[in-house]
Structure 1
Amino acid sequence: MDKEELVLKYFDGSLTEEEKVVFDQLVESDAEFKSQVEFEKDVKSVIRNKENDSHKKKLQGFESELSGGSTQKNRTFWKPLSIAASIALLIGVSWFVFNSDVFNGTAELYASNYEKYPNTVYTITRGDATDESLERLAFEAYETNDYDAAITYLTELKEKTRLDYVDFYLGQAYLAKGANLKAINKFQEIISINSEFKDEAYWYAALSHLKLDQKKEAEILLMELVKMGTYKMKEATDLLEKLN
């Protein structure tokens, strides 16, 4: 089952027992998945807290309109319908909130723009038992979201080689783990040496700053990315508009 569908069913309360086992295993083993679940919980909590009073007023007004001026018989008849209408209204308002740009805080903007960068530098041939290189270990761990192992192997690889992409993927692993400052440091190193991953580093450094609620720093990097006009130009432009 798709991970996004699992998250949706979790918050919907419709996970089967088998799906719940898979969900719990992903929370334990997949740091990115766990981070997304926790983020969704935080967003829903914020929405509940900030919209609770507004929802109550809307529902009360709606029910008053339905029941006002009616006989006792009519009120009895309309009560189930008013409850149903109230629930429908609540669902509608909640859907609007979740699917609009109302909550365009930096954390939300990060989540809506972040996408793990794929392994484009080392092809892993499955079942190749003869390949025990450090690069294979590093990128195999990266591809399977074992970021602790990926960081260990990439750090060792950095000590033995001068491959500039190592710092870029170290930054990716740190970002996925939530070690945002370390991620920024790695992306800045890539930018400073004018690596082939320089443009990508601007984008991910900006996202890292967003995750830390550092809007100004993110804006500076995004503006540079737009000026270069190569990688993620449209996304960077859209993101700047939402930040301003």
Structure 2
Amino acid sequence: MTSEEKQDRIDQYLLGKADKNSRREFEEESTRDEELLKGLEDTKSAMAAIELAEDRALKARLQGLETSLREGNGTSEAKVVGLKPRRSGTLRYLAYAASLLLVLAIGWWALSPSFGQSPQQLAMANFEAYPNIAYQLERSGTEEPSPEALAFVAYEAGDFASAATRFRELDDTPTNRFYRAQSELAQENFAAASPLFQALSQLPDFALSAESEYFHALALLGTGASDEAANELLGISETPGHPMAQEAAELLAKIR
């Protein structure tokens, strides 16, 4: 028996078009034929989805009519449109489509860059050290570099452990604190970076307060506080003109 013939039998069975003997024979055969049983379950799911969609559409239509009547706009007679009978092949196509969508969804999930990543890995995959826009380094000269220059030299060189240490020794200005927090986050010291970024994000006059808010969400994610991170990312993504809105929305989609 071909797959198409099996599907025809399934359609006949579910639509109540099979006689009593045929139904009993089908039920007995489905207990032995795994492919037939799977087709039966898939078609039942497709039919249930169709019925649910039709129920919702009917409910919405009735609610619309009720609203129109209440507003005095229901003067015209409602037109009842009969439903066209479905061909038996319709259920088959719906079952195939549902199966294909399921396969595609599973494939997308497995191939997604965030598939199988821990919160810490996801945080670091979306982290890039913020460029040094605060201190202009002199590449030449005989003068001994200042402590601030040494901190930024280490930062630009990617020596974040040394940079974090040097920034801690500087005056606790918002700018120095921001790059110290960046250095901590780059080393995956999430617990150390989180309160620094949180405090910076609450400074209304700090030029990088909005960016600090996003990096605070990354630090939260790294500590495992995924729900808190998601809430913060949602707020960022919904804030008009936020410089990190796109990054926040993309990361939020990976968390959910």
TM range (shorter): 0.5 to 0.7
Change (3 A) 1:101 1:151: closer
Q: Give the corresponding residue for 1:232.
A: 244
In structure 2, runs of 5+ residues without a counterpart are 1-108
Instruction: Give 2:255's aligned amino acid.
Output: L
In the alignment, which of 197, 202, 205 is matched to residue 216 of structure 2? 205
In the alignment, which of 194, 202, 224 is matched to residue 192 of structure 1? 202
- 1:216 lines up with 2:214 in the alignment: no
Distance 1:107 1:152 in 2: 23
Instruction: Give 1:211's aligned amino acid.
Output: G
Deviation at 1:152, TM superposition (A): 2.5
Query: Which stretch of the first structure deviates more once superposed, 212-221 or 145-154?
Result: 145-154
Deviation at 1:187, TM superposition (A): 0.4
Instruction: Give 2:193's aligned amino acid.
Output: A
Q: Give the corresponding residue for 1:139.
A: 152
TM-score, scaled relative to structure 1: 0.54
Change (3 A) 1:98 1:140: farther
Q: Give the corresponding residue for 1:173.
A: 183
The structure with the largest helix share of the pair is: 1
Deviation at 1:140, TM superposition (A): 0.5
Aligned CA RMSD, in angstroms, stands at 2.1
Could you list the runs of 4 or more consecutive aligned residues of structure 1 that deviate by over 4 angstroms after TM superposition?
96-101
Tell me the SS of whatever aligns to 1:157.
Answer: coil
Query: Which stretch of the first structure deviates more once superposed, 225-234 or 207-216?
Result: 225-234
Larger Rg: 2
TM-score, scaled relative to structure 2: 0.52
In the alignment, which of 144, 148, 158 is matched to residue 171 of structure 2? 158
Deviations 1:26-70 (A, max 9, x none): xxxxxxxxxxxxxxxxxxxxxxxxxxxxxxxxxxxxxxxxxxxxx
Change (3 A) 1:97 1:111: farther
Distance 1:204 1:156 in 2: 22
Deviation at 1:146, TM superposition (A): 2.0
- 1:107 lines up with 2:120 in the alignment: yes
Deviation at 1:113, TM superposition (A): 1.0
Distance 1:173 1:120 in 2: 15
Change (3 A) 1:224 1:125: same
Q: Is contact 1:107–1:210 with CA below 8 Å preserved after alignment?
A: yes
Q: Is contact 2:201–2:211 with CA below 8 Å preserved after alignment?
A: no
Query: Which stretch of the first structure deviates more once superposed, 107-116 or 131-140?
Result: 107-116
Q: Is contact 1:104–1:242 with CA below 8 Å preserved after alignment?
A: no
Deviation at 1:164, TM superposition (A): 1.3
Q: Is contact 1:142–1:150 with CA below 8 Å preserved after alignment?
A: yes
Distance 2:243 2:118 in 1: 23
Instruction: Give 1:215's aligned amino acid.
Output: S
Change (3 A) 1:104 1:153: closer
Deviation at 1:131, TM superposition (A): 5.2
- 1:116 lines up with 2:129 in the alignment: yes
Deviation at 1:107, TM superposition (A): 3.0
Q: Percent identity?
A: 29
Change (3 A) 1:237 1:167: same
Tell me the SS of whatever aligns to 2:195.
Answer: helix
Deviations 1:72-97 (A, max 9, x none): xxxxxxxxxxxxxxxxxxxxxxxx95
Q: Give the corresponding residue for 2:142.
A: 129
